[in-house]
Structure formats: C-alpha cells, structure tokens
Structure 1
C-alpha cells in the first residue's frame, strides 16, 4: 500500500548543507517546504555520509521530491544528493507523512517499525543464511532482490523514523505503468522471486528454529485497519462499488459477494493470521502490488526485479503474496491463459532453492499443500483487489490530496472516494474488477 518507487532524477529543488536548518520552500504544491523537513532527516543523511567516504564538514546535501502523487499512502519520499568536490551519492529517503492527521490515520509508525525490522534484521539474516549455504548473488538462484539500505531506524518516543536506500533508477530500474495490467513476463519474474523468498523461510524454519522465531511477526496492518473507521468505511464503499461492476444477470455472483461483505473484516483478520497458513506459514512480503516493484530491462525485455516496501512483511500463508499480486495487478485474460503456469513457476522456484538450501520441498511444502492453501486463502486476493484496482484505474492527477482528506476525516468523519472520474477510467475499472470477482469464484476461492 506504500510505495518507495522514486521519480526520475531531476535538478535539486533546494540546496542546503547537512547542518542547514533555514526555512526554504520547495515550490511543490502539496508538499512541505524543505526547510520544514524534519531535522532528523537532515541528521540521518549527515550520519551516513562519512560512512560512505565523505569528509565531515566538506560535503553538501540537497533534497528534492522523490515520488509521484498516488505512489503510496503511508510514507513520503525525498531524494538526497550528497556532493563533495567531484563525488556525488544519490539516495532515497523514506519518512512517515509530515501531516499529523495522515500519520495517525494510517498508524504509520507501527508500519515503519516493521520495515525497519525488515532492513535491519530479516533481510540481512536471509542474505547471510544463503551465503552460508553457498548460495551467492552470482549464482542467480537465491533471493537477494532488495535495494541496498544505508540506514533504517525508528525512535517511537520521538515519533520519527527514516529509511535511506539506493536510488534504483540510477541503476536503470524502472516501474511498470500501474494503469496497465501486468503482462506475463513481468508476473513471471515476481513469481520466481516470491518462490525464493518463501524457500528461505522454510529452510530457516527447520534448520535454524531459534533464529526463525524472530521472523514470526504478526500482520502490522490488519488490526490497525479494522480499528480505523476511515479504512472500514473505505473498504465497505469499495466492496459496494465492486459488486456494482457486475452485470444485472449475475445474481449468484452478487449474492456470494454480499455474503462476503457481511464478514469481510473478520475474514481479513483470519486470513492475515499465521494460523490459517500453518504449518506452512512463512515471512511474506505483504504488499505485492505493482508500485512496489521495479524492473531492469534488456532490449525491452524484463530481466530482473527488485521488491520494495517491506512495511507489511509478516508471518502468514505463502499464498497471500501470490493472490494479492495476481488478482490486483493482472487482468482476466492473463489469468485465463497463465494462472496455473504462474503458480507452477512459483512452486518450481521455491522447490529449486529450498532443495539447494538443504531442505525438502516435497516434505516441507508439497504442491498439494499449496493448492489447499490457495483454496483456503484465495479470497484474500479479492479483498485486496477491491482496494487496489480502483487506484490502478484512476490517473494520478485525479487522486485526492491525502493530507487534506485525512484532515477532513479527522474533523468530520466523512470520507470522499474518487470513484468515478471519467468514462474511460470507469470503464477500465468495471472490466478489471468484474473479471476479478468472476475469477475468484471460478477458481473456487469464494
């Protein structure tokens, strides 16, 4: 739901040294002035600069906006440019929203806490374990597909957090255009990496149980969402709109969805608990939608993928990552042609790495268990799609100002959703959403 995919690099909008606290405006509508950026962000950049070889007191730092409107909900992104002489380092800085109402609405500090855990504990452990087993980046069969993180910290008492990482656009990684359904080649790359990510969990779980205990973390979002009146209102409105995308003669489908609507918040809580996945629960990415992925290309063909935004990583059924992405980010035509193939690609990737790590996929997670998990948890794909698909079918420029919306809800408890912007986006939404509803039922998940 967040996103850390950056904008294309641009000229700095405002410049200041690492110690400069002067009030300067960035001139960008809807964003705080750079002078209003938290001092802790300035301090964080100044802290990592010497670690990267810059001379204290000799480097300068400039900031610019780092993401587009509509890229995410629970964070703000800025690009920091560190310069000393002819040397330059560009990093992305991710911080909680500077708007108080928006920060409270999405309970962002608890979510940042999880991402700090991911970058400081989970991902380093995954990397180290694979290397100990002889699986290195050069072999191309392990899970190493995350951005380099320079610093990740949270101070709950001070209500501040910052995550500083590589700007992957400078390494020629690009985002997919979210308004278009993902094609097979891009989906295939994700299935391979999810298989590898989950394989490491299975290996660690059996071979290093004491280490893996730290990975058994609860979902950080569901409790916050189901206790948030704003989110529950939004989900109810989204479900009503999804049901409205059906044709008048699809009464049986409509009845199933109305029944789901009556207990969807309980279903969300159940599906995101580890119990439904056991004994196969793993550390999942948690937020597998297209804005949290970046791709490298060769002659127009995607060759590599990086998984961003680990704010919702959690110990749950492995299929939650699969159905979240497939039902939210692909279309009905791709699912009809390739759904089974994508599931098999995922499992083949998981089995290959788990076996190389000294595990046994046929015992630890047989393919029949995967199919049973899909049956038990497949409707999670629908619950996420009713939330994500509307955002994929609306132009970013037509999305609401999240700060203003959060402040209005805090004052009035009224939530405005930009459901119908124009005929084109509405037609796109109705087609994609109604296909999701039909497919979830066709696969026997609802």
Structure 2
C-alpha cells in the first residue's frame, strides 16, 4: 500500500497507538503528545543544497543517541514540506531533535524538525515507524501507519469538507485534529511518515497522565466524541460510497494472534487486576476470572462491527489522555485536539466512550458524573446530527446507546487492565521499548509482570479496583 498526501491550508484542522497503538496504545506509543513534552536534543542538522549563503552542519548527537540514524525518507519529506511552505531551496537549514522518552511504544517514534531561513523559524512534528529493527519486526507498525495515513489524507479532510458544505462552523462541528502537512506510507519499503504542526506553539498542553481527569476536561472530551461520531453517522448515510473505504476493522484482529506474547501479557495484567479486589468481593472476582479465561474472544467480540450495526461509526480508537491536548483561557480548558489516529476503526461508538471514561476518570468522578457525561456526549451528537440534516432518533436513539453500553461497555475494563498501570507509572520508570524488543528477539523471556510492578502500587490498586467495581455495578460485565 502506497499513499502520499500533502495537506494544504484547506485541511488545516483545529488539530487519538489507527488510522495507533496496540490495543490502542495499549501499546502506548509515541504519541504526538510525548513529543510536545520532550526536551531538545539536537541530533542531526542539514542544509538544503549547500550554497555560499547556507552550508551543511555536521550531525550533532549526544553519545546516547549517536546510534540513532535518521532515515533518508525523513529528510526527503521535510524538504518537500519546506518547498511547499515557501522556503528557498539552498537557503534554509533543516535540523532534527531526537531523544525519545522511555515508554514510547512499539508503534513509532517522534522527532521535531526545525526549518530556519533568515528570521523565519518553523517547527514541525515528524512521526515515523520505530528505527530499531527489533521493534519493527515484533510489532506491525506499518499496518497502522497506513491506517493513520488514510485518516490524515482522506478521512479527516472529507469530514471537514462535508461539515463546511452543510454550513457547520468550526465552533459547532468536529474539526479537532492536528494540521497535517504531509502523510506517506509505503508498507513494502517499510517507510512511513506523518508531519504535523507543533500544537505546543499554540499554547496547547497535555493533561498529567498520573492524575485522573477532572470535570471540565472530561466534558470537552465527551462533547467532541459526540461530534466525531455524529459526522461519521451522517457521512455513512449521505455518502455511503465514499464512506465505504473507511469501514476498517479493529487492527487487534491481526495484532493479537492466539497464543501471542501480547495475549499472555494481557492475561497477566488481568490477573494482577483481580488481586486489587478484596477477597470478599466474590462477584467481581468471578466475573474478572471469566474475562481472564476468555480474554481474546471478549476483545474480538467488542470490536465486531456486525454486532453493533446499524449503530456503527468510524471512531477515534485510542481515547486516553496522552492522545489529547488542551488549550486554556484563564486557566480553564476551552478547546481540545485529538491526536493519534492509528487505531481508528469501524466499531460501536461505545468503545471510544468506555475507553476514555474508565481509563481517564476515577470511581468518585464516575459516581458523581457518569450519567451526566453520557448525557453530554449524546446531546452533542444529537445537536450536530440535526445541523447535518438528520434525525437523531432515527440515526442513533438514546435507547440504542444504553443497549450498546450494556453490550460493549466491558471494553472499558479490557483497556484499563493494561493502561491504568501505565497511568500510575512515572515516565522514567516505564519500560525502554528498544531494550525490551532486543531482549525478546535474542530469546529472553518477556517480563510479563513489568507493567504493574513499576506502577505506584497504591494509586494502581485504588484506580483498578474502582474500574472493576463500576463495570460490574453498571451491568457491563
């Protein structure tokens, strides 16, 4: 599959591990967000066509990073962006910052690119598959890079153009993804790159992943998920032929063959989650044990689009806090952007909702606001559907949402058993993905307990137990 796109101003967006991350970041990948937090380590610098006005500067890398050689296609793509953005060939300098955080996942790596010509300085974020060969071979990065390329090159531009044709303003619709300057994927050549704007330069910030999300931040997420799903529902009805190409299955079907190391790891973390329950909580323990014993079947069932029809949408797929950035006004979040579209998939809308609510909030928040959050989501979806010319009661009645929550809501705990340990672990204590991949390649056993062991045990136990109890209390498990 070869796809290449150069998005101009018209696809500028107002800003998810797939069209991203295993199990949705389950393999928690290099999220755009992590790059926004990284420090600057200048790795390589190159001038375009050295001339008397501009000469090449030798690469400058720290000793720890000196083995990380950036691929030629990364330079080629940035030089194309430079031309398209009006930089003068031979007179600008191209510099990359490298230095990934521990815990960057299997799926890819993020670099900042700096283009400088005279007084003009521009910063871009470049996302590519893992440079480390062991990581590339152990995880099907290219498959989901192709999916994210499809999202940035076709899906999001179509969504934005469709809403504008219907007279929907950015204030009322879904336009909340990063501006993409270039997206390309060639699976056969093992090359892929997505070049985006650096949202930090527009005062966007991430939420601290070790804190549960508060009301104002959660409200923005639920509003935008409602709008995203509304556009998907409307497009599916108004432009069925165009929409057909986006009916992509959950990548987990291919990422998780039976007996795979990932399946073993997931069963281990489900077992760890069970141990956060009190011995007297026999109902919860029994239901979680059933989930453990049937993990793979439950995952595939939750992502089965046929079971969700006719209420199936093209969802974001990776709705955890590291895939969201907020812009603030007077200390209050006023706008959110959804990052990382590598796991976008055609499934029930409930997967996005359950993923965010059960991984991003805590038991106390859900006790106070769960029903309200679902109301915010549905009202947002219904309002945009009406603006797009559709009757919400025909397209996705609220009773259908409730039924789908009962059927697919358990997805929240399936994601939480993997993600909550990571959310309770400091970045410096996360696994070094290159090192882990190389050890596994060399025949060493995977350390199945590393996820939970490195977490703050008190925080992990409280959050995980709360997720399990709520999933059972709501009748989702």
TM class, shorter-length:
over 0.9
Partner of 1:414: 445
Deviations 1:38-84 (A, max 9, x none): 11101110111010010112111111137533354411000000001
Partner of 1:252: 283
**Equivalent in 65, 70, 76 of residue 109 of structure 2:** 76
Partner of 1:396: 427
Q: How does 1:344-383 map to 2 (within 5 A)?
A: 344-383=375-414
Partner of 1:437: 468
Aligned length: 441
**Equivalent in 131, 134, 151 of residue 101 of structure 1:** 134
| 2:354 alignment partner, SS class | helix
Structure 2 residues not aligned, in runs of 5+: 1-24, 51-55
2:62 aligned with 1:27, yes or no? yes
1:102 CA displacement: 1.0
Deviations 1:128-156 (A, max 9, x none): 1001101122xx11000000000000011
Partner of 2:36: 7
| Contact 2:327/2:335, CA 8 A, preserved across alignment | yes
Partner of 1:112: 145
2:110 aligned with 1:60, yes or no? no
| Contact 1:142/1:196, CA 8 A, preserved across alignment | yes
In 1: Cα distance, 2:294 partner to 2:88 partner: 58
In 2: Cα distance, 1:195 partner to 1:117 partner: 22
In 2: Cα distance, 1:283 partner to 1:294 partner: 21
State the Cα RMSD in Å. Answer: 1.9
In 2: Cα distance, 1:28 partner to 1:418 partner: 28
Structure 1 residues not aligned, in runs of 5+: none
In 1: Cα distance, 2:456 partner to 2:196 partner: 34
| Contact 1:102/1:403, CA 8 A, preserved across alignment | yes
| Contact 1:230/1:413, CA 8 A, preserved across alignment | no
TM-score (norm 2): 0.89
Q: 1:24 to 1:229 in 2, by over 3 A?
A: farther
| Contact 2:47/2:57, CA 8 A, preserved across alignment | no
Q: 1:18 to 1:434 in 2, by over 3 A?
A: farther
| Contact 2:96/2:113, CA 8 A, preserved across alignment | yes
In 1: Cα distance, 2:427 partner to 2:300 partner: 30
Higher relative contact order (CA 8 A, sep 6+): 2
1:264 CA displacement: 1.2
Q: 1:228 to 1:404 in 2, by over 3 A?
A: farther
| Contact 1:199/1:354, CA 8 A, preserved across alignment | yes
In 2: Cα distance, 1:72 partner to 1:32 partner: 20
**Equivalent in 433, 437, 458 of residue 427 of structure 1:** 458
2:179 aligned with 1:148, yes or no? yes
